Amino acid sequence: MRHGVRLGIDPGDARIGVARSDPSGFLATPVETVPRGRGDLARIAAILAEEEAIEVVVGLPRSLKGGEGPAAAKVRSFAAELARLLAPVPLRLVDERLTTVSAEAMLRDRGRKGGKRRAVVDQAAAVLILQHALDTERATGRAPGEIVEETT
């Protein structure tokens, strides 16, 4: 397992959930929800600097059969922009099937209601994305997902 903080990102149309790992790469925890729009990528870059992260993991929404639709295309575009901004820090796309659904269910089970749940569901989904990536790396010895190449 590589040593260093990683960021997990759950990009949505309205909000971006952000999570971080501990330096040992064992546990993911929520950081914040960044509103989509002007300054969102700059805020993620600032969080990366504050946390001194060595890598960013972005959830890629796939269909249950593993295919990619319009939502995945939007995330790929977002990830390419973010990779350019964060270079040379590597950015990886990892499968995030059902993480938002799982995050909603987890928060509902813990008694979070409507508006309060919506305010943190993106962070919870980012935690699930990052934790899955950390667990996969620990189990396989390889960094998960696909690297997003910096393009100009």
The structural domains of the chain, with segments of one domain joined by +, span 6-136
The topology (CATH level 3) of 6-136 is Nucleotidyltransferase; domain 5 (3.30.420)
Does residue 53 or residue 119 have the better pLDDT?
Answer: 53
Q: What is the distance between the alpha carbons of residues 57 and 93, in angstroms, rounded to a whole number?
A: 6
User: What average pLDDT does this structure show over 10-28?
Assistant: 95
Residue reference for tokens 């040379």: 88
How far is it, in rounded angstroms, from Cα 56 to Cα 107?
24
Give CA separation, 60 vs 50, 57, 91, in Å. Answer: 24, 9, 12
Would you state the pLDDT for residue 115? 57
Cα–Cα distances (Å) from 130 to 37, 111, 124, in that order, read: 23, 23, 10
Residue 114: pLDDT band by 50, 70, 90 thresholds?
A: low
pLDDT at residue 120, rounded to an integer: 76
